[in-house]
A = this chain, B = another copy of it.
Amino acid sequence: MNPTHFQYDLLASDGAARAGVLHTPHGELPTPIFCPVGTQATVKAVTPAQLADMGAVMVLANTYHLYLRPGADLVAELGGLHAFMQWDGPILTDSGGFQVFSLAEMRKIDENGVTFKSHIDGSMHRFTPEVSIGIQEKLGADIIMCFDECAPPTDRDYNIRALARTHAWAERCQAAQSRSDQALFGIVQGGIFPDLRAMSARFLSALDFPGYAIGGLSVGETKAEMHAMLEVVEPLLPANKPRYLMGVGSPEDLINGIARGVDIFDCVLPTRLARHQAAMTRRGRVNLMNTTHTHSTAPIEDGCQCYTCQHFTRAYLRHLIIAKEMLAATLISIHNLSMLLTLVSDARKAILAGDFSSFSAEFLATYPATSSAE
């Protein structure tokens, strides 16, 4: 397969940071970009119209979840994910690998794939590279992922074995692909080991994918280890292809990722935090349940242009949380997603203006440090 709709135009660089445009069958993706996650074909608590209002361009959906419920055949019968969830822009699906390997005692790996128990009803299922691609072709996203094995990041022997499988499976995924309107990304693995990461980046680059994901990070390693792995991989991946850092989305990780050449990010953090009363700001997290907000007429974040900040006070949001009103999750999700979308969009503007290093330095100087990847 040689997909024809996925040209990546590199518009500007600033150090390793880069700004570009990825063309997809559902429109242009300005990069770098943050992508909201719609695990079960919905970004939790927000409508597609609200997502579009806040400037979201691409959303993710999870193959594992949609395969189990409502099923890939049903999604295909209903016109594919775009029609099903009414998202007209680009969509990305993961391979199901990460979720399946996270099942711990509920799965068994062999060289051909993984047999696992559904977390919903305990029924037995099997994913192979071919099965994962088949499901993703039925779901019909613009960008799909190779079926890979996400190993514990610090176990070198495990990573060596897993990487062999991931690479063999990448070739099988490529061979299995039958649609030319989907871009299949290879996934670089290798834990926290520079030599394994380099080997993986080189191996996958040779397979000439239309884009590359960097997997297995933000799963327990330190921030310094994450940064080191990005720095190993960046010069080895082809500059004319987009790079996607999977599952990473705290504000500082986004800026640090962009500084190391990443183009695409996704993370459940903004919507998950929103359902737990935490708002994300450029000065760190704010727990809106705190009594300090009882009388506050301030928005979550001064200067924020999102619907929530343009209308609602912290005092009102705190009331909604305490009264257990669903609107709390919706309004805080709108802010958190907008905050990340705007932060990455501002980073893109800084790259285009040749100003990214000062933008990045200024942001990181005021953002409260955390010790491990989130």
- Specify how many copies of this chain sit in the oligomer: 2
A74 B326 Cβ-Cβ under 8 A: no
Residues on B with beta carbons closer than 8 Å to the beta carbon of A363: none
Within 8 Å of chain B (Cβ to Cβ): is A305? no
CB of A308, distance to nearest CB on chain B (Å):
9
Residues on B with beta carbons closer than 8 Å to the beta carbon of A98: none
Given contacts A311-B48, A319-B41, contact A294 B74 (CB under 8 A): yes
Within 8 Å of chain B (Cβ to Cβ): is A342? no
B294 A325 Cβ-Cβ under 8 A: no
CB of A352, distance to nearest CB on chain B (Å):
32
Residues on B with beta carbons closer than 8 Å to the beta carbon of A65: 323
Q: Quick one: which of B42, B84, B319 contacts A69, CB cutoff 8 A?
A: B319
Closest to A43 in B: B327
Q: Give the CA-CA distance A19 to B160 in the complex, in Å.
A: 77
Q: Quick one: which of B48, B70, B307, B325 contacts A319, CB cutoff 8 A?
A: B70
Within 8 Å of chain B (Cβ to Cβ): is A313? yes
B40 A295 Cβ-Cβ under 8 A: no
Within 8 Å of chain B (Cβ to Cβ): is A86? yes
Within 8 Å of chain B (Cβ to Cβ): is A362? no
Residues on B with beta carbons closer than 8 Å to the beta carbon of A331: 47
- Which of A70, A74, A84, A294 is packed against the most chain B CB atoms within 10 Å? A70
Residues on B with beta carbons closer than 8 Å to the beta carbon of A312: 86
Q: Give the CA-CA distance A212 to B307 in the complex, in Å.
A: 37
CB pairs A–B below 8 angstroms (9 shown) = A47-B50, A48-B311, A69-B323, A70-B294, A70-B315, A84-B313, A84-B316, A86-B316, A326-B329
